[in-house]
Every structure is written in structure tokens, then in C-alpha cells.
Amino acid sequence: MIPKSIQKALSQLGLSNLAIRVYSQVFTEEKETVSKLARELGIYRRRVYESLNELKVMGLIDDEPKIVAKSPATISALLKAKEYELNKITLEYQQDLPTMLGNFFQKGKSPDIRIFEGINKFRYLFNTILNEIDSREEIVSYNEGNDLYEVLDLEYFFDIWIEKRIERGIFIRILANGENSMHKKEFSKNKIKFRETKILPKTDKNLCCYWVIGSKIILWDTQTPKAFMIENPFLAIMFKNQFELEWERLGV
């Protein structure tokens, strides 16, 4: 009998339960014949032939002159090939998903847009985020720079806001601007400040910072200063997908 882990692997590769039983018998005994397998497994010879064909197509056995199992390393190679195909399908799916979701959610509706202009409105928006966000959601921040905190007065308002975010259990992932010296200095505080940070190696200074929170996107223009909060699931997923691709690209 082969280990359960191997049985599960063969099942994931699409083999039938009977084909797995046949493989297990062949792997254990080796140099089997169709008649002997039918007798040992208590099944008709026709069913043995069907299962052997499954195994042969997958490259798991040789059946000439007698039936023998190939190296178990073949299973590992098949799993890696399947993982590659699944990753490829997942990437294609993610590319098509925004369009599909757009058709699903839009139904002719316009996005809900709110504009927050001036420092006081910026602070009001930060508090609104904490009041409206579900504690099960996270915040993702793209191209975050020092200027966002300078506008908000880092030494006072933002530190208090961070404390409130931690109390609410709101996790934040940050892709910081490559010139963001503050985040580089505060890496060691990531855990206690309930966040994870990665540094973008090269960032276009003309790109604005954005946050994605559930179905909302917030675009921060710190020069004006002005912020736009857009509530739209379709757009939120598009922005979140861009963030996730960059996050994965940067690795650990």
C-alpha cells in the first residue's frame, strides 16, 4: 500500500480511485499481469485495462513485458507541471476578472465619489476610514511617501490614528515610495504597529498614493491637498490586483 500522501497526490492529478488502487498494487508487488491484478483486486480484467491506460497516459507505469511502476519522482514532476498550468490559468483569470466583475457590479451605476479638500478634511477622512472599515478588512497602501504624513502632522495626528487602528485590529500592508525614509527607519516596528511594509525600488514621483479598503479606493493628492474616495467594487479590485502583483514581485 502506498502512503496516503501519494494517494492524495494521484487524486489531485485526476486519477480515478480504481486507477490509484491499481497503481498501489503495481508499485508494491511489481511485475504484475492483468490477470493477477484482476484477481488480487477482485475486479474484471476490463476494469484493469482501463485503469492501466490511465496510468500509462500519465507516464506512471510501463506495461511491457510486464507491468511495473516508474520512479515515484514522476509524480513530483507531474504535480509541478500541474502547478505551472494552474498558475498560468490563475494569471489569465486575474486579468479577465475585473472586466467580469465590472459587468456584474456596474449594471449601469456610476461610482460613488467623495472629495476631501484641505488638511482638516484629510484628517476627517482618516477618522472616517476607521469608523467605516470592517475589522475583518485590511488596508493596502501603494506608493506611500513621507509627504502624506507631513501633511497630516506625523508627530501628533498620525501617531494617534495608528493607535486607534491597532485598537480596532485593522491590519495595513504598505508598498512605500523608494524615497520614503520614514518607513525604512521603522521596519523594526512593523509588528507592534500591526503592519507589513515593502519598499518600491523605483517609483515615478508623479504617481499619487492610493489606498484600497474593501470596495473603496482613496487617491491622495498631497500637493493640493485633496483626496478622492471612490466606492466601486470593480475599480477596487483593479487597484488591489495591481498592488498584489507588485507585492508578490518584491518577494519577502
pLDDT in tens, 43-101: 999 999 999 999 999 999 987 778 888 888 999 999 999 888 888 887 777 667 656 65
Give the model's pLDDT for residue 106.
Answer: 56
Give the model's pLDDT for residue 193.
Answer: 82
Q: CA 123, CA 116: separation in Å to the nearest integer?
A: 9
Give the model's pLDDT for residue 204.
Answer: 53
Q: Is the peptide bond before 225 cis (omega within 30 degrees of 0)?
A: yes
pTM above 0.95, yes or no: no
Give the model's pLDDT for residue 187.
Answer: 62
Length of the chain: 252
Give the model's pLDDT for residue 171.
Answer: 93
142-154 burial: b if 16+ Cβ within 10 Å, else e = bbbbbbbbebbee
Q: Do domains 4-81 and 110-250 have the same CATH topology?
A: no
Domains in the chain: boundaries: 4-81, 110-250
Give the model's pLDDT for residue 173.
Answer: 93
Q: Looking at the DSSP assignment, which residues form a beta bridge with residue 175?
A: 142, 198
Give the model's pLDDT for residue 143.
Answer: 83
Query: What is the topology classification, in CATH, of domain 110-250?
Result: Endonuclease; Chain A (3.30.870)
**Residue located via cell numbers 470593480:** 234
| CATH number of the structural domain 4-81 | 1.10.10.10
Q: Looking at the DSSP assignment, which residues form a beta bridge with residue 69?
A: 61
Give the model's pLDDT for residue 100.
Answer: 67
Please list the ranges in the chain whose pLDDT falls under 70. 30, 94-95, 97-111, 146, 149, 151-156, 179-188, 202-207, 252
